[in-house]
Structure 1
Amino acid sequence: MSGRPEILFPLFGALEGLEGIGPKTAKLFSGLDVETPRDLVFVLPHSGIDRRLRASVRDVMPPEVATVEVTVGNHLPPRQKGRPYRILVEDAQQEFQLIFFRARGDYLQKLLPTGERRVISGKVEMFDGIYQMPHPDHVLTPDEADTLPQWEPVYPLTAGITQRMMAKATRDALTRLPALEEWIDPGQKAKAGWPDWAEALRQAHAPGSAADLSASAPARQRLAYDELMAHQLTLAIARATQRKAAGRVTKGDGHLLRKVLAALPYAPTGAQTRAIAEIAGDMASDSRMNRLLQGDVGAGKTLVAMAALLTAVEAGGQGALMAPTEILARQHLEALAPLAASAGVRVELLTGRDKGRERARKLGDLAGGMIDILVGTHALFQKDVVFHDLRLAVIDEQHRFGVAQRMALGEKGSAVDILVMTATPIPRSLALAQYGDMDLSMLDEKPPGRKPIVTSLASTERLDEVVGHLQRAISEGRQAYWVCPLVEESETVNLTAAQARFEYLRARLGDAVGLVHGQLPPAEKDAAMARFVSGETRVLVATTVIEVGVNVPNATIMVIERAESFGLAQLHQLRGRVGRGSGASTCLLLYDPPLGETASRRLKLMRDTEDGFRISDEDLAMRGAGDMIGTAQSGLPRFRLADLERQADLMQVAQSDARKLLHDDPTLQSPRGQAARVLLWLMEQDKAIRLMRIG
């Protein structure tokens, strides 16, 4: 695979030389991310204009586009500067006016000579009961009329580029499409009724109706699938390359896990049992594990992680669990400690706070193999942290860790297995786009004994009443979170909002109210959290810093102010901070009336369901993919042709197809494999191509 295949050269040449594109225009196209003919044909029309010939302008409802044949009448040049130039025309049923601003008379005389017949197309408007067509889009002689498409595609534009330039250049670029061998599985293609690649592009650029522009049109599906397939093939190749890297067989005999399960007050859920088995299977194989454990808030990820860590210990090795913050690392330690005690294994915590002698002692024990499981923050990456025999690294909340950091931790032991945990339920299509190089285990059942959280909505006009309820709850010994929104981009304004709410609640409820926000130094933040955990503060006013992982079983009330300004995923994460103990929990969503339609749909969905996966699917439908994970930090690929919201089901087909193709033809040498290599070049998946070379 020495370089780009010759058959693709015409698509990767310069834009210059395409009809209507010179050096200046070529520069303008970069505003659309278009640098080659390939980029240009991948800009699909987003809508269309009906240009079918009609008998009269009376056949359309102004303001609408009409295409009619007319006889040109008198020209009425403007009497004074700044007035429009008018031309009277008449179709089969109606006389009307063409209006031109700042136009040259001699040019218009040539374009529309009095007494001749012309076909004109443009937007018809009614003005004082008179039909008008300002600046027609097309003026043609009757024998040129058939060059006008019945349905004209409308393209996204950028400064300096017009619809006509787009249409012309695209038409020319489409004549350069090479005939490529098919990379799609023939069965899949026949079943879906998809056209060939070049034909699909031609169809997508020549829609015959609105249906041809929809995400479900066969040509559009085919093109989206090609893009998703290339992306999934890249991830599958990355996964295969990683699996070739020698792993170690880590097999437990189950004696420690049995002790832990025996000590539990309840049996694990079916989903937990399945995930534990999948992980044990990966660890026992001689390939490196690279698995994502996705579970909703409170689905019991801790037990699954512990089972995996114990497998490493049973096999004579060590495990590490890494969390994004010190508070979370401490909580993991507290959650794991009783389980570890029942199995008789030693768990320790290592964070940036460990200094001097204490740190040296822990590091010595770790290197000597006396510590079985080490919990910590990114402090686990530091050079002087040496394990005796690290077999498994569990990473919590992955989007805080890039692939590079996953690798760095992997280098702490020979061929370390990696398990990533995330509490963000992402719809499957996005999980595949983001983590397609990983195997997925899902926890989609709640462990027994979890009480449902009652969610209700109230307008901020009822604030006094809400605080009254809160007062009673506190006197009964309960604890509450009160979350203030990040109203403004500026930290200081947010701070005043939280500060003001804190002072208001303190005036009503006394000293039992605490405050924690993003501007506090870490030590003060920890101290404020600690006071809440110990029950010294009964109400904690917070900006969204408490989103992930904080565990206070006695906190059973969550008030979220200006709930309409939060995304669904965020509301779901925040609500998951309560309902962790045995007491009944409530979540109150306070909103500022009046509520918009989307906001009201969002809040009602929160009230009606606690299922994070259902919430995330709705969230995707409402907000779109880039927005949902925040494309900037998501590592989510930018797709040109595929629409992740409307074509989500294609992602799964593409993943299984890509994995099957590689399984049957690991070096992509078969005719279909060779075609797939061309697809990777076409879709600029250079990463995959590099990996194939290494492999």
Structure 2
Amino acid sequence: MRPALLDPLFASVSSLPGVGPKLGELLARLLGREDAEDARVLDLLFHAPSSIVDRRNQPGIALAPEGVIVTITGRIDRHQPPPPGKSSMPYRVFLHDQTGELALTFFRAKGDWLSKALPIDETVTVSGKVDWFNGRASMVHPDYMVKASEAQNLPLVEPIYPMTAGLSSKVLRKAIDGALARLPVMPEWADPALAQKQGFPEVDEAFRALHDPRDEMDIDPQSPARRRLAYDEFLAGQVSLSLVRQKLRKVAGRPVHATGAISKRILAALPFSPTRSQTEAVADILKDMAGNQRMLRLLQGDVGSGKTLVALLSMAAAVESGGQAVLMAPTEILARQHFSTISKLADAAGITVDVLTGRTKGREREAILERIASGETQIVIGTHALFQDAVAYHDLALAIVDEQHRFGVHQRLRLTAKGISPHMLVMTATPIPRTLVLAAFGDMDVSKLTEKPAGRKPIQTVTVPTERIGDIVSRLKSAISEGKKAYWICPLVEESEESDLMSAEERHATLAQVFGANVGLVHGRMSGSEKDAVMLAFKNGELRLLVATTVVEVGVDVPDATIMVIEHAERFGLAQLHQLRGRVGRGDEASTCILLYKGPLSETGHARLSILRDTEDGFVIAEEDLKLRGEGELLGTRQSGTPGFRIASLEAHGDLLEIARKDAAYLLEKDPELTSARGEAIRTLLYLHRRDEAIRFLRAG
């Protein structure tokens, strides 16, 4: 049960004074929640300000610097409304202090409202940015105007929050104040010695300080309030990962004894021999699976490093031991592709493989489910349809999850919840920096694939400004006439009013004028079967040029595609560009990746594209990406089930993550059921950070 102490924070944002249905929806959008019901008071507390406005600067009119926020106190001299019928001209109100005169400028303002708010001869205090024209000072639409007698109510230092369209800062601030008013005094879950050494304030104090910054120092990630809240966030994450691990480890694994009979046949059917790191990864996996504890291993391999072979050899070991294995992919395209790669080798080794996705329907589906339940199917490949209740396994020994960051801890648990405790291997082609591995997958051992399989040629990467798009199209024309295949990646599906990004549909239309029926289009709004049909036509060579959004990012395999054009490359993250580039260079021909960018590039944009030009090492790229962007974007956090930290940041607070990990391990060793006083406080922390699934484990334990 959630402690009653937290109930006020788990009320919907619509329960706050002044928050109606419309505002509730806006707040939900701002806070990244589904709807107003799902957005809680608590989410507002975690919505941290990004900067401050300082209105303490009161230089006097003549000394006011251009474009800087200042506060001016002066006497109103006269009003100058626009001439009749010229409502597009501004309404001006003039005031003066000892140093000079200032025009307050309003567009489309109501004169009667202004004469009441700013009566002649009244002394007022106004705050906003000053602009200078021909030696005259003007302030357009001041942020604040109050009578000088009420100036003590003017907020001199104001936090600035990340916003969403349609929401005003005053309204957001009022909602946040409402949330702060409900903040209870929390029990202390931090270790007292650590809290003292780090200078941590108490939790409720830290939240209040977060939303009441007095100067630039308070906004800094290293301020005591932010460090305190970042630590709490890391600690909640590490304790829940440890609880999950403790629970998953409690269920004894079943030892898998590989005989090598099937894997020998697979290796014999391969046209190449495995790389050193593939062999080492398989050895690690077999060693883990041979023990009594369940394997939980993360296999990180850069784009094209041959994870599928490692997966197949691991599954072969499970089959040799008399069990079944599943391989779960995030998308239909990927699942079917894994199936086509694996079934060829599995046939040679005499293993039965089936593919099960949401699109498998009717009789075909029933037949597959029967084969899985009877044990006739030894390897099943599919999407999360593999987790549904209708799927009963005969004897599941190994579950492999591809592209981990699309599956949260929850899905890993659902498999376990089916009363099966298979060994787990999680694969990702997104190289993840070590700190992130700790934060997101603290409960796993890690293997890395570092070499590319034999015969892969390096990819030449070039950056080209959009102005030279004509040259690129003519180079493509000659390449395609020589029988080559190319991808053209665009950031959006269709052109929108406010965006100047080239949409996939529009780019497809312009390229079709040059290349005719040779061009296909794939984007995320198409149905699975439509996408598959286009991909197949591209693979078979009926299409030579494929215009696509990032749906081709993960694992699509067309070995003879050798050219990749990425439009608006400056809009993509490094890891994503690296993933996309990895779609070419998969065969034995030299490949090219062309990064089209729209200048002028920002400093970060420039750094990003040059890193990509200089290296093909995904691990180097991931570390750089973390420095340039932070972990949220690196993992595509919102959609991904990995920790999207709200206050903590791996770059700024990496030192605290390490401490939180050790603290969580120590705590659970001493108090595995969290029944001590500190254990009870930690339960409150887990609820506060919406980590309640971890608490359910304690109960199920």
TM-score, normalization by structure 2: 0.74
Offset of residue 297 of structure 1? 0.9
Among 586, 591, 594, which residue is 1:586 paired with? Answer: 591
Report the AA paired with residue 32 of structure 1: L
For residues 56-77 of structure 1, give each alpha carbon's deviation from its aligned partner in whole angstroms, at most 9, with x where no partner exists: 3444303323346x5x656435
Which deviates the most, 352-361 or 259-268? 352-361
- 1:64-213, aligned counterparts within 5 Å? 64-67=68-71, 73=75, 75-76=77-78, 86=93, 88-91=95-98, 93-94=99-100, 96=102, 102-103=112-113, 121-126=127-132, 128-132=134-138, 135=142, 137=144, 139=146, 151-155=157-161, 178-186=184-192, 188-189=194-195, 192-213=198-219
Report the AA paired with residue 462 of structure 1: D
For residues 219-257 of structure 1, give each alpha carbon's deviation from its aligned partner in whole angstroms, at most 9, with x where no partner exists: 212213323432443344334333334432334466776
Please say if residues 563 and 571 of structure 1, whose CA atoms lie closer than 8 Å, have aligned partners that are also in contact: no
Please say if residues 491 and 567 of structure 2, whose CA atoms lie closer than 8 Å, have aligned partners that are also in contact: no
Please say if residues 453 and 586 of structure 1, whose CA atoms lie closer than 8 Å, have aligned partners that are also in contact: yes
* Separation of aligned partners in 2, 1:418 and 1:559: 34
Bigger Rg, structure 1 or 2:
1
Partner of 2:54: 50
Offset of residue 683 of structure 1? 3.0
* Separation of aligned partners in 2, 1:163 and 1:546: 39
Report the AA paired with residue 90 of structure 1: D
Please say if residues 539 and 558 of structure 2, whose CA atoms lie closer than 8 Å, have aligned partners that are also in contact: no
Partner of 2:689: 683
Partner of 1:567: 572
* Separation of aligned partners in 2, 1:462 and 1:67: 54
Offset of residue 686 of structure 1? 3.5
Among 557, 563, 584, which residue is 2:562 paired with? Answer: 557
- 1:382-401, aligned counterparts within 5 Å? 388-398=394-404
Please say if residues 76 and 119 of structure 2, whose CA atoms lie closer than 8 Å, have aligned partners that are also in contact: no
Report the AA paired with residue 456 of structure 1: V
Please say if residues 390 and 413 of structure 1, whose CA atoms lie closer than 8 Å, have aligned partners that are also in contact: no
* Separation of aligned partners in 1, 2:159 and 2:368: 68
Partner of 2:485: 480
Offset of residue 667 of structure 1? 1.2
Offset of residue 652 of structure 1? 5.8
SS at match of 2:254: coil
Among 302, 318, 322, which residue is 1:296 paired with? Answer: 302
SS at match of 2:586: coil
* Separation of aligned partners in 2, 1:346 and 1:430: 37
Alignment size in residue pairs: 663
For residues 625-656 of structure 1, give each alpha carbon's deviation from its aligned partner in whole angstroms, at most 9, with x where no partner exists: 66555556423565543456765665565455
Residues 604 and 692 of structure 1, relative CA distance in 2, 3 Å threshold: same
Does 1:456 find its partner at 2:486?
no
- 1:13-24, aligned counterparts within 5 Å? 22=17
Report the AA paired with residue 564 of structure 1: A
Report the AA paired with residue 49 of structure 1: V
Residues 572 and 660 of structure 1, relative CA distance in 2, 3 Å threshold: same
* Separation of aligned partners in 2, 1:36 and 1:395: 32
* Separation of aligned partners in 2, 1:619 and 1:606: 10
Offset of residue 677 of structure 1? 1.6
Report the AA paired with residue 594 of structure 2: L
SS at match of 1:216: coil
Residues 618 and 244 of structure 1, relative CA distance in 2, 3 Å threshold: same
Please say if residues 516 and 529 of structure 1, whose CA atoms lie closer than 8 Å, have aligned partners that are also in contact: no
Partner of 2:494: 489
For residues 401-421 of structure 1, give each alpha carbon's deviation from its aligned partner in whole angstroms, at most 9, with x where no partner exists: 677766676678842223232
Residues 389 and 212 of structure 1, relative CA distance in 2, 3 Å threshold: same
* Separation of aligned partners in 1, 2:395 and 2:318: 9
For residues 112-155 of structure 1, give each alpha carbon's deviation from its aligned partner in whole angstroms, at most 9, with x where no partner exists: 757xxx8765544435533455657365768x878867644344
Q: Which consecutive unaligned segments of at least 5 residues does structure 2 have?
A: 32-38, 497-502
Among 60, 66, 74, which residue is 1:62 paired with? Answer: 66
Please say if residues 125 and 131 of structure 1, whose CA atoms lie closer than 8 Å, have aligned partners that are also in contact: yes
- 1:493-642, aligned counterparts within 5 Å? 494=504, 497-498=507-508, 501=511, 504-505=514-515, 515=520, 517=522, 521=530, 524-525=533-534, 528=537, 531-532=540-541, 539=544, 541=546, 543=548, 546-553=552-559, 555=560, 557-560=562-565, 562=567, 564=569, 567-568=572-573, 569-583=575-589, 585-589=590-594, 591=596, 596-597=601-602, 602-619=608-625, 630=636, 633-636=639-642, 639-642=645-648
* Separation of aligned partners in 2, 1:402 and 1:169: 31
Among 32, 35, 42, which residue is 2:27 paired with? Answer: 32
For residues 277-300 of structure 1, give each alpha carbon's deviation from its aligned partner in whole angstroms, at most 9, with x where no partner exists: 553454344444444323211223
Please say if residues 395 and 421 of structure 1, whose CA atoms lie closer than 8 Å, have aligned partners that are also in contact: yes
* Separation of aligned partners in 2, 1:300 and 1:340: 19
Residues 541 and 566 of structure 1, relative CA distance in 2, 3 Å threshold: farther
Offset of residue 183 of structure 1? 2.1
Report the AA paired with residue 452 of structure 1: P
Residues 446 and 666 of structure 1, relative CA distance in 2, 3 Å threshold: farther
Report the AA paired with residue 610 of structure 1: E
SS at match of 2:69: strand
Which deviates the most, 395-404 or 608-617? 395-404
- 1:130-529, aligned counterparts within 5 Å? 130-132=136-138, 135=142, 137=144, 139=146, 151-155=157-161, 178-186=184-192, 188-189=194-195, 192-252=198-258, 268-270=275-277, 272=278, 275-323=281-329, 324-325=331-332, 329=336, 331=338, 334=341, 346-350=351-355, 373-375=379-381, 388-398=394-404, 414-426=420-432, 440-447=446-453, 450-458=456-464, 459-463=468-472, 466-467=475-476, 470=479, 474=483, 479-483=484-488, 485=490, 488-489=493-494, 494=504, 497-498=507-508, 501=511, 504-505=514-515, 515=520, 517=522, 521=530, 524-525=533-534, 528=537
Residues 260 and 171 of structure 1, relative CA distance in 2, 3 Å threshold: closer
Considering only aligned residues, what root-mean-square deviation do their CA atoms show, in Å?
A: 5.1
Report the AA paired with residue 578 of structure 1: V
Residues 360 and 626 of structure 1, relative CA distance in 2, 3 Å threshold: closer
Please say if residues 638 and 644 of structure 2, whose CA atoms lie closer than 8 Å, have aligned partners that are also in contact: no
SS at match of 1:321: strand
SS at match of 1:248: coil
Offset of residue 453 of structure 1? 1.7
SS at match of 2:462: strand
* Separation of aligned partners in 1, 2:174 and 2:480: 70
Q: Which consecutive unaligned segments of at least 5 residues does structure 1 have?
A: 508-512
Report the AA paired with residue 65 of structure 1: I
* Separation of aligned partners in 2, 1:377 and 1:77: 69
For residues 16-40 of structure 1, give each alpha carbon's deviation from its aligned partner in whole angstroms, at most 9, with x where no partner exists: 99xxx85568985774359876555
SS at match of 1:455: strand
Please say if residues 103 and 138 of structure 2, whose CA atoms lie closer than 8 Å, have aligned partners that are also in contact: yes
Offset of residue 587 of structure 1? 1.3
* Separation of aligned partners in 1, 2:245 and 2:655: 22
Offset of residue 688 of structure 1? 3.3
* Separation of aligned partners in 1, 2:662 and 2:247: 17
TM-score, normalization by structure 1: 0.75
SS at match of 2:49: coil
Residues 354 and 398 of structure 1, relative CA distance in 2, 3 Å threshold: same
For residues 460-490 of structure 1, give each alpha carbon's deviation from its aligned partner in whole angstroms, at most 9, with x where no partner exists: 221465147526864xxxx433435465428
Offset of residue 48 of structure 1? 1.7
Offset of residue 303 of structure 1? 3.6
* Separation of aligned partners in 2, 1:428 and 1:351: 34
Partner of 1:510: none
Residues 145 and 546 of structure 1, relative CA distance in 2, 3 Å threshold: closer
Please say if residues 57 and 69 of structure 2, whose CA atoms lie closer than 8 Å, have aligned partners that are also in contact: no
